[in-house]
Amino acid sequence: MDNSDDIRLIVKIAQLYYEQDMTQAQIARELGIYRTTISRLLKRGREQGIVTIAINYDYNENLWLEQRLKLQFGLKEAVVAYSDSHDESQQLAAMGKQGALLLDRLIEAGDIIGFSWGRAVSALVEHLPQSNHGRPAICVPMIGGPSGKLESRYHVNTLTYSAAAKLKAESHMADFPGLLENSLIRNGIMQSRHYQTISSYWENLDIALVGIGSPAIRDGANWHAFYGSEETDDLNSRQVAGDICSRFYTLNGDALSTKMTEKTLAIELHRLQQARYAIGVAFGAEKYSGILGALRGKYINCLVTNRQTAEMLVK
């Protein structure tokens, strides 16, 4: 074999190994040469500069932050999404992509997967890979629908259905509001067969995917769509740090009773603590208190966030 043929073979092997993710054994069978020859030519390719390997060291800081988050808060998984843009929508998209990979990896056959509502959960569901085969899983909402105006793409039923369609899983919808006018109406709905079916799934939840709220975002359109100004004033007086599925808690993670508690149809916080994986997706200074309270209360055991938020949490 002359030098040009040798180089051509190195390029061919490198393409199969690095770009097509074939193993050395597979390449050896395909090309009809020994596996030891494959290993030797891959090494020569790197030595002669035919193959170059670049490491993006921007990720190194993120990996360190992920480990710090796991150790400091006892998390099962932590994802610090990387984005070279300071634009909020780009940051959200990066979190959605990496969070979707995490969820896809964690799902097991027969899992019951619960969803909350909001932008962060929407970003993750949007980037879920389309399954080529059906999964024996069940997707359910963990809270009723919004009582005010909310963009349909952020609605819990939309997100639950979209995720199930991508996973080719079974889905259920919440045919009741998340926040009722009074406890009498709420108690009546709780007696319905439909609510009993949904709540039974909450009791056996395997994976929960949740956004995290905070009174610091009370001026936002989505917050007003769900709660309105009257409820917000009550939350402020009780020193609420954050919420998951309209279940509120303090900065130390203690569950709080509010005027909304007896009017809310949503999963209880202690059910999230029982899930195999409870994945919180949130970022930003205005969400800091909500994220910290959720971590301290053990309402989430996985976190998907960005670098700036992770740095604030591990200080």
pLDDT value, residue 306 = 95
pLDDT value, residue 258 = 85
- CATH topology for the 3-47 domain: Arc Repressor Mutant, subunit A (1.10.10)
Residue-wise pLDDT tens digits, 210-265:
999 987 766 556 555 666 555 556 666 677 899 999 999 999 999 998 888 999 99
Residues of the chain with CATH 1.10.10.60: 3-47
Residue-wise pLDDT tens digits, 260-315:
899 999 999 999 999 999 999 999 999 999 999 999 999 999 999 999 999 999 98
Residue-wise pLDDT tens digits, 98-137:
999 999 999 999 999 999 998 999 999 999 998 877 778 9
95-98: which pairs have CB atoms within 8 A and are 24 or more residues apart?
Answer: 95/120, 95/123, 95/124, 95/281, 95/283, 95/304, 95/305, 95/306, 96/120, 96/122, 96/123, 96/124, 96/125, 96/126, 96/127, 96/281, 97/127, 98/304
Least confident piece of the model among 58-67, 167-176, 272-281: 58-67
Q: What is the pTM of this model?
A: 0.78
Tokens 């709780």 found at: 190
pLDDT value, residue 204 = 97
Average pLDDT of the residues of the chain: 88
Sign (positive or negative) of CA dihedral 113, 118, 124, 129: positive
Residues of the chain with CATH 3.40.50.1360: 58-313
Tokens of 183: 């406890």
Domain 58-313 has CATH 3.40.50.1360: yes
pLDDT value, residue 310 = 96
